[in-house]
Structure 1
């Protein structure tokens, strides 16, 4: 992934196409309706699910610990893979606190892997910034290295995002 991304006055269709091509189809930017249909499919395929609220920093630590227990209970998993899942969770949950103050995380266990849905009611992400966030070390925070989302894309099998003025929803899938 390149740090040199040129985006100016791109429409949403162009941004979607750029993200799909640049990530080999791993990252999709969806509209609300398509995103929610995808979530419904996940819910139907899940053998188990859990819902957690994120209201403050300490919630991330507590949920991370519960998530670790759930994964170990549900799958025989290598430590590195478990670490990667927990890292993805921590990165995206931290973004909820940084940018939206609070949100909800839903975890869906399927036969093949784990889906984690992050929902917040923040201001959403500017469509023109999404390629920078997804494909480079961009950060909106001065004290951040900005690699979080790029790392998530590398560690996940798929990421689906929907964002608007009502908030941002991100569904990640990691095959186990």
Structure 2
């Protein structure tokens, strides 16, 4: 590919436009426009010709000086572009400058572009915290607006795990050098296709292929029909939230254990699984309607009486099981009752499982210990009967439902 000898005056030639890689949004500048170029690393200045423009890049012809690195292109006394340059066509002094931000004298801090934020966030060219000192005592409307935007930038700049992208003409490009792993970018591009097709904003969660990273993705359609994407690494935040919930859960577990003298214990699903492995399943049935309760009582009597269950204890335990089963009907749509008998046949455990909304952790003390506290998700007033007539109660409650295990010795 060569630069046309008549460029940019020959509208039929698109070589200089193709190098911008901006699809159909690139246009020629007719006639070419003289611009001032300042290399930011050395502050050396030179003259060039602006011959092609797009929303994301510009094309410069510079026959007197090679252009490279980050630069400022002054188009007019109040209009400048900051970008990074590279040679576009081999053997021709034609350079493509990727636009990082556009600065206007009256709008530089009043209308912050996505590209501007990213540049400020990722480099030390302009530290918004430093600029804030100049606006500390400003009390006019414009000063307050500038101060507010700078404060936002100061906060966001401290976030090291945010990646910004732009979807333009079907291609995703990062706004700067900071970018996520290729597999995450691939999943991101797949998801934002929906946003661009329907013209809607999109929020999705992305998990890396190895399962070690979790990202929140926000995609918004911009006025020029491109799509801006913010990708935030929330792995650490999720891990910390899980640790916090675990610590909170352990506190509630200890409190309930102490208050009930060890009769009420909170267990995880994993702990419940290993607990039930200590016995074998002897009976299982669904409770869907009040008439099922009578069948439940008869089935338990038929299964447990031959094991030498003391009559009075058996009656009390059956009352507790009946209360637990009734609660699945009162506060939900029924549940499953399963009887396990220990391998040495010295105790039995009954698992009552409903698939309701579960009980909030902060409601557990009231739902289990406070008489008269009853909501759709609580264990009901009968819970005090269960505590009185069982040797121990194990409880696990999540958004997937509540599991209650009533334990009673068979011989004592």
Q: What TM-score does the superposition give when structure 1 sets the normalisation length?
A: 0.82
Report the CA distance between 1:116 and its aligned residue. 0.6
Deviations, residues 18-53 of structure 1 (Å, cap 9, x unaligned): 100011111111122222222223xxx33x611111
1:128 aligns to what? 362
Provide structure 2 residue ranges, at least 5 long, that are not aligned to the other structure.
1-246
Provide structure 1 residue ranges, at least 5 long, that are not aligned to the other structure.
1-9
The separation in 1 between residues aligned to 2:347 and 2:270, in whole angstroms, is 24
Q: Which runs of 4+ in 1 moved over 2 A?
A: none
Residue 165 in structure 1 maps to residue 393 in structure 2 = no
Contact 1:132–1:138 (Cα < 8 Å) also in 2 = no
1:34 aligns to what? 271
Q: Choose the corresponding residue for 2:290, options 25, 47, 57.
A: 57
2:315 aligns to what? 83
The separation in 2 between residues aligned to 1:107 and 1:18, in whole angstroms, is 28
The separation in 2 between residues aligned to 1:106 and 1:93, in whole angstroms, is 11
2:327 aligns to what? 95
Q: Map residues 9-28 of structure 1 onto 2, 5 A cutoff.
A: 11-28=248-265
Deviations, residues 91-134 of structure 1 (Å, cap 9, x unaligned): 10011111221211111223112211111111101212211122
Q: What TM-score does the superposition give when structure 2 sets the normalisation length?
A: 0.37
The separation in 2 between residues aligned to 1:139 and 1:68, in whole angstroms, is 31
* 3-state SS, counterpart of residue 11 of structure 1: helix
2:25 aligns to what? none
Return the structure number with greater relative CO, CA threshold 8 A, min gap 6. Answer: 1
User: Which structure: greater strand fraction?
Assistant: 2
2:301 aligns to what? 68
The separation in 1 between residues aligned to 2:341 and 2:272, in whole angstroms, is 18
The separation in 2 between residues aligned to 1:107 and 1:115, in whole angstroms, is 6
User: Which structure: greater helix fraction?
Assistant: 1
* 3-state SS, counterpart of residue 57 of structure 1: coil
1:7 aligns to what? none
The separation in 2 between residues aligned to 1:26 and 1:141, in whole angstroms, is 23
Counting matched residue pairs gives 159
The separation in 2 between residues aligned to 1:72 and 1:32, in whole angstroms, is 30
Q: Computing the radius of gyration over CA atoms, which structure comes out larger, 1 or 2?
A: 2
Question: Given the superposition, is the C-alpha separation of residues 102 and 147 from structure 1 closer, same or farther in structure 2, using an over 3 Å criterion?
Answer: closer
Report the CA distance between 1:76 and its aligned residue. 4.3
Contact 2:321–2:406 (Cα < 8 Å) also in 1 = no
